Amino acid sequence: MQPCSLLSLATAVPPDSIGQDEAKELARRAFGGKKALFDRLSGVFDNAGIAKRHIVAPHRWYEQGHGWHDRSLLYLQSSEALFEEVASAAIEQAHLTPDQIDGIVTVSTTGIATPSLEARVGPRLGLRDNARRVPVFGLGCAGGVNGLATTARLAASDTGTRWLFVSIETCSISIRLDSDDPAAIVATAIFGDGAAAAVVQCGGEGLATIMGGAEKLWPDTQRIMGWDVEDPGLAVVFDRAIPPFIEKNLEGAIDEILRGVGQPRDAIARFCCHPGGVKVIDAIETALGLRSGALDVEREVLRDYGNMSAPTVLFVLEQLIDRGLPKTVMMTAFGPGFTCGGLLLEAS
């Protein structure tokens, strides 16, 4: 892949937020019919390393039962608003106007939109009616890395074109009060909502240079992470084996990904990781031989926003850029599959 410039990076969150103590009490009420299950798992709220999260609905919405219609309507309303906000910011930061965008990659896995989000928002945002559109579903938490890598590959294939990447996830909509699965309570303790957007171009100067990306998919791991499509909505799949799996397999995967982009691991000045949870961050540090606490920005993003799925790693990258991006950065994120995505950046 030809190197591409990351011209801009913007993030956005919905206006409603909830502190972790308040979220715990709300969940206690909402799961009132499953008191024994909640009491057994309630400690996850205290140990999640999260202070607050942003959510797309008022608190009372989460105490009520909702089916596919209600969840889909909220997904469309909130995602369209987030798309317009974060895409406008990214385009403006790139010193462009919407009609100068040649293509859009949209990554979202927490709802279904047909027509897709960029088709719904594009006309009022001012995007051209002949801009190329690539909506992507199913990447989950890996979508921030793999989606940005896909955007860069498309930009690299057509020099001079400008591509907008938008990642939006509304994880909180998937909260299921009807479920007896412990994962439903864990999701209630860690999920937040948010969006990120970037503009990428092959050539020119920007915030950083995207040097290349690669992925690793492990066979027979589909039940580690993902969604089950059920009535009355998506049901999260979280396996407790995620942290030990990362500890055992991440180092080899990262070395394989780095070989794919032509870099040794000792060339990486900083890893930029999706903070899926405290135990996941600890597992990454252990697997890669990093000192305990090395992924400090990841912990800060988790504390302030929770796990927003795909956009979360882009919040981490934004913080690293604001503080001064290290010379060579490897972005990583895990997602359904079970997958690890990697993307190599160099500071401009």
Burial 86-95 (b: 16+ CB within 10 A, else e): bbbbbbebbe
Three-state secondary-structure class, residue 235: strand
Which of the following is catalytic: 4, 141, 171, 273? Answer: 141
Within 8 A by CB and 6+ apart from 116, the residues are 106, 133, 135
Residues 4, 152 contacting (CB under 8 angstroms): yes
Q: E strands of 37-192, at which residues? A: 52-55, 103-107, 132-136, 162-170
Compute, in degrees rounded to 10, the torsion defined by CA atoms 82, 84, 86, 92: -170
**Is 141 annotated as catalytic?**
yes
Omega before 115 cis (within 30°)? Answer: yes
Angle at 259 between CA 161 and CA 104, to 5 degrees: 20
Q: 264 vs 73, 74, 251, CA distance in Å? A: 47, 45, 12
Tell me, what DSSP letter sits at residue 289? T
- Give me the DSSP letters along 23-76: HHHHHHHHTGGGHHHHHHHTHHHHHS--SEEEESS-GGGGGS---HHHHHHHHH
User: Which residues are designated catalytic?
Assistant: 141
